[in-house]
Amino acid sequence: MPLTNLNNAHLTPAEIAAAEDALTQLETTLAMLTVTLTPHERMIYGSINEQNKLLVNKVWDYRQNMPNLSVPDLDWTEFENDYKSRLVMENLENRLGALQEKIKNTKILHDHDNYQSALEDYAYTVYRAGSQVAGYETKMNELKQFFLSRGNRKPPGEQPSGE
């Protein structure tokens, strides 16, 4: 028998509301900073690869330790603000990415549990349809459509016919 109920933890309605409120608050807080780039804009502005980030970090380091070597015409306050904001965004991105991965994993376990339960229900439906109990044959025929893409294999619980 397959493993079922891999994740029995469920959020309460209050916890769901709190999580949704927290996301709304985060979206609202970041709204003034976040932008949507077109694929073309992303290609143009997204040219700062890892090597270029090292350059930015080295210029930042020189600015912090030997400001007399920095170009005088640059708005260094804005440079510093951009640099610090980038670090904050990177940290948020990493944390949200880790959270997103955990949420995906949790969803996968719930999906697996639902699918295994649906297979059990289908097998029971096939069994009951064989005993001519009202309603089960209709249910079986409606559920059978979800197994047709598997080639010639029979749905779970169904007996091979004359094979």
Which residue from 5, 2, 7 is spatially nearest to 107, judged by alpha carbons?
7
Q: Domain coordinates of the chain in residue numbers? A: 47-150
What share of the chain in percent tops pLDDT 70? Answer: 88
**Is the model more confident about 75 or about 48?**
75
pLDDT of res. 132: 86
Say yes or no to pLDDT of 113 above 80: yes
Mean of the per-residue pLDDT values for the chain? Answer: 89
Provide the pLDDT for residue 107.
95
Tell me: pLDDT of 121 over 50: yes
Q: What is the pLDDT of residue 46?
A: 83
C-alpha span between 22 and 15 (Å, rounded): 10
Cβ count within 10 A of residue 157: 17
Q: Answer yes or no: are the C-beta atoms of 30 and 138 closer than 8 Å.
A: no
Check whether 163 has a pLDDT greater than 50: no
The per-residue pLDDT for 152 is 56
24 pLDDT tier (thresholds 50, 70, 90): very high
CA distance 63 to 72: 11
Query: For residues 1 and 22, which has the higher predicted lDDT (pLDDT)?
Result: 22
The structure's pTM equals 0.73
pLDDT at 48: 85
How far is Cα 52 from Cα 163, in angstroms, rounded to an integer? 66
> pLDDT tens across 1-16, in order?
456 677 788 999 999 9
